[in-house]
Amino acid sequence: MTQLTPEQRRTRAHVETLIRLMSPALNVVLAVGERISRIVEPVDHEYYPPRTGQVEPPPSPAAVERKVDGE
C-alpha cells in the first residue's frame, strides 16, 4: 500500500472525526427506527431462524404463522 500524502492524511482525519461525532446521533436514529418498525409491524412474517448446523429442513411458512398466532 502506498503512503498517504499529508493532504490525504488530513482529509482522512477530518472524515474519521466527523464519523466519530455523528455516531451517537446515528445510533439514536437506528434505535428510533427499530422501535417504530416494531410498533408498525410487531410480527415479522418473513423471519426465518438462522441455521444451527442441524440437518432439519427449515419450518414451513404455515408452521411459523401457527406458532406466532399461538403466542
Range of the domain at 61: 6-47+57-70
pLDDT tens for each residue of 5-19: 999 999 999 999 999
Tell me whether residue 1 is in a domain: no
How many domains does the structure of the chain reveal?
Answer: 1
**Grid cell for residue 28:** 439514536
Distance in angstroms (rounded) separating the CA atoms of residues 27 and 19: 12
Q: Is residue 30 part of a domain?
A: yes
Cβ within 8 Å of residue 12, ≥6 positions away: 4
What residue type is assigned to position 17 of the chain? T
Query: pLDDT exceeding 90 applies to what percent of the chain?
Result: 49
Domain assignment present for 25:
yes
